[in-house]
Chain A
Amino acid sequence: MIRFIISRTFQSLMVLLIMSFIIYLLLGLMPGDPIDLMVGSNPEISSDDIQRLKELYNVDKPILERYLIWITNAVQGDFGYSRLFSQPIMDILAPRLFNSIVLMSVSLVLALLVAIPAGIYAATHPNSLLEKAINFLCFAGISIPPFWLALLFILLFSVFTGVLPASGMETIGDGSVIDRVHHMILPVATLSMATIAGYTRHVSASMTEVLQNDFIRTARAKGLLEKSVLWRHALKNALIPVVTIIALDFGSLFSGALITETMFSWLGMGKTIYDAIIGSDYNLALIGLLLATVLTLTANIMADIAYATLDPRINYQKKN
């Protein structure tokens, strides 16, 4: 097991290294040149200064050399400065990472609280009216453009009724817990909606499959209560693939968070990355993207470990 974790971690580090190079290359192809941007904001700059800046930021060197310099600094914890905010990258990203994690985890918990019962119901009551309704809602959930869902929520709850704030994380000057929760309702609702639909389908499919197993028939034949059969025998087994899918799905949760954060001006990682790319703040975009990749890869490793821990039948030593 430990050997498996080490080898998976090593693989993920390789992916991260390759991704860092690809992203570095791609950001080098973005419109504009960081020195030009600095020059543009200062009309009194001389051509000597420009040359000096170019040397300072290594812009005159070939891309591979620049990448090597950058990664040597990055490994030592020096991520550089943000152009938009004129602050060290980590000072900007740390609080935003926290905001994103709050948004994503609350949405995730909410999604699971709805999806597990809904999925079980759909699997145990096939062809019932409610099952058909759940199924239809799942299709609607995976088909609705998330940014449009956000627009609809804003339209319904802010424009028409005015009960919930349309954007932001708190009312300026207030900042109490109630106010913050009030601002969270619409972003969380938006982000969990698409997630709920996907998760419900997974739970229901997994549960349907497990319920066809012999040990379920045995459990029923023993005269166990249906409640006990479902929750203790079936669900335990049905959740194993679901846990894996949820962890593997972390990348799309992050993509969803990017849209939600942009729509509701929620100061999280996704919005920061988007603003950094649009505002040609390459350093910030680079670190933000890599941080997002690290999060996703970590979630994937955790998925594998969870799979192995939850299901004792899986033995990684043998297969790998």
Chain B
Amino acid sequence: MSTRILKTQKSAFFSRFLNTSPAVISLSFLSLMILIILLAPIYEFLRAADPTRVDLFNRFLGPSGTYILGTDELGRDLMLRLLNGGKVSLSIGLITSIIVGSIGTVLGLTSGYFGGKIDSIIMRFADTIISLPLLPLLIVLTAIDLSKLGIPQTYIDMPFFSTCKIIIIISIVGWPTIARLVRASTLTVREEDFIKVALAQGYGPMRIIFRHILPNVTSPIIVATTLAIGNIILFESVLSFLGLGIQPPVASWGNMLTGAQELLYEDPKLAIWPGTLIFLTVIAFNFLGDSLQRAFRTRSIQIIE
């Protein structure tokens, strides 16, 4: 009986979520794009094409049968570069959002549950990070020469390493927003009767936090993490655009735009395509987050009623 109620509640939630057309459009757009990006290697294999191959005789070509979207300033296939760039930008967005979400959740739960000194230290820290002029500070972080910290140059030159660096740097500044939201929800849940019961039963703080509070604060976590993906992709694109994020020849949507300003007169399409994809992806994640929030909100109102 109870599972049945749960099920109807769940399906009602999904139908509310899918009733909002932005959610449907965003979800289909993102799934389609991820699908195409995942299929890109097969296409590359079949056409024996290589997104990093330079062909100086075929620069700035328009769309054609061989090059669906034409070629860039080094004669590389723009379509293939966009798909590979998308793989990089989207993976950074998804991976970093999970990291940021986890750090934010743990710190937010700790802060909200224990209160007092721990709370004020964590929150002061979060507030300070939020209020700082982040972009200039991030630029300094990305520009650091890691060989001075004793990391061998061979590691630093690896593409994987520069990706990890960006993920870590964005994680450092990304957690406070989520931590604050989780803390706020934890504060309300902490006052509920079932927490008092759990306390009276002598459960430890770890068990109460993870077994009793966490399941009740999942909706703000999901919403905040979804909204974070968009912001992270934006941040990565800005850093890569400034030449400090993902390093060429690996493509990311941000670094594909690095040279675009000088080439605006020559070939505007090089500026238009990567930017359009960043914009559409970020707006899709933002609509998705917003629709989730609305769907969750309606659910909690209905439960209370």
Contacts and interface: CB of A to CB of B under 8 A. Distances in A.
Interface of A: 15, 19, 23, 26-32, 139-140, 142-148, 151-152, 154-155, 158-159, 166, 248, 250-252, 254-255, 258-259, 262-263, 270, 273-274, 277-278, 285, 288-289, 292-293, 295-297, 300
A296 B133 contact: yes
Interface string B142-161: 01111011000000000000
B144 A143 contact: no
Interface stretch (B60-68, B192-200, B281-289): B281-289
Contacts of A166: 264
A30 B260 CA distance: 27
Contact of A254 (B136, B260, B265, B286): B136
B17 to A, nearest CB: 17
B262 to A, nearest CB: 11
A248 B136 contact: no
B143 A148 contact: no
Interface of B: 128, 130-137, 139-141, 143-146, 148-149, 230, 234, 237-238, 241-243, 254, 257, 260-261, 264-265, 268, 271-272, 275, 278-279, 282-283, 286-287, 290
Interface centre among A32, A139, A248, A295 (most CB of B within 10 A): A139
Given A31-B145, A151-B257, A159-B268, A292 B131 contact: no
17 contacts: A15-B128, A23-B140, A26-B144, A139-B286, A140-B283, A143-B234, A143-B279, A143-B282, A147-B237, A155-B272, A166-B264, A251-B130, A254-B136, A262-B242, A277-B143, A292-B136, A300-B131
B252 to A, nearest CB: 12
Contacts of A300: 131
A188 B128 CA distance: 28
Given A151-B275, A273-B136, A145 B143 contact: no
Given A30-B144, A145-B237, 4 more contacts: A29-B148, A142-B286, A250-B133, A289-B137
A293 B130 CA distance: 12
Contacts of A295: 133
Nearest to B132: A251
A36 B129 CA distance: 34
A292 B241 CA distance: 22
Contacts of B264: 151, 154-155, 158-159, 166
A75 B123 CA distance: 30
A201 to B, nearest CB: 10
B131 A251 contact: yes
A250 B136 CA distance: 13
A289 B254 CA distance: 24
Top 7 closest A-B pairs, CB basis?
A: A255-B135, A148-B275, A143-B283, A31-B145, A143-B282, A254-B133, A292-B133
A15 B144 CA distance: 22
B283 A139 contact: yes
B158 to A, nearest CB: 17
B40 to A, nearest CB: 22
Contact of B234 (A19, A139, A145): A145
Contacts of B286: 139, 142-143
Nearest to A23: B140
B131 A248 contact: yes
Contacts, number: 130
A82 B298 CA distance: 58
A274 B139 contact: yes
Question: Which of A166, A251, A254, A296 has the largest count of B CB atoms less than 10 A from its CB?
Answer: A251
A148 B257 contact: yes
A262 to B, nearest CB: 7
A270 to B, nearest CB: 7
A296 B129 CA distance: 11
Given A147-B241, A155-B264, A255 B145 contact: no
A93 B241 CA distance: 25
Contacts of B268: 155, 159
B7 to A, nearest CB: 31
A50 to B, nearest CB: 19
B130 A155 contact: no
Contact of B271 (A28, A151, A289): A151
Contacts of A23: 137, 140
Nearest to A194: B234
A139 B231 CA distance: 12
A45 B10 CA distance: 76
Nearest to A254: B133
A293 B271 contact: no
A139 B288 CA distance: 11
A29 B144 contact: yes
Point out which of A148, A154, A159, A292 has the most chain B C-beta atoms below 10 A from its C-beta.
A148
Nearest to A11: B124
B33 to A, nearest CB: 15
A289 B149 contact: no
A308 to B, nearest CB: 17
B48 to A, nearest CB: 32
B141 A26 contact: yes
A140 B287 CA distance: 10
Contacts of A15: 128
Given A31-B145, A296-B132, A144 B261 contact: no
Contact of B145 (A30, A143, A248, A297): A30
Given A258-B135, A274-B242, A263 B261 contact: yes
Given A30-B143, A248-B131, A259 B230 contact: no
A263 B145 CA distance: 25
Given A143-B282, A154-B264, A155-B264, A285 B130 contact: no
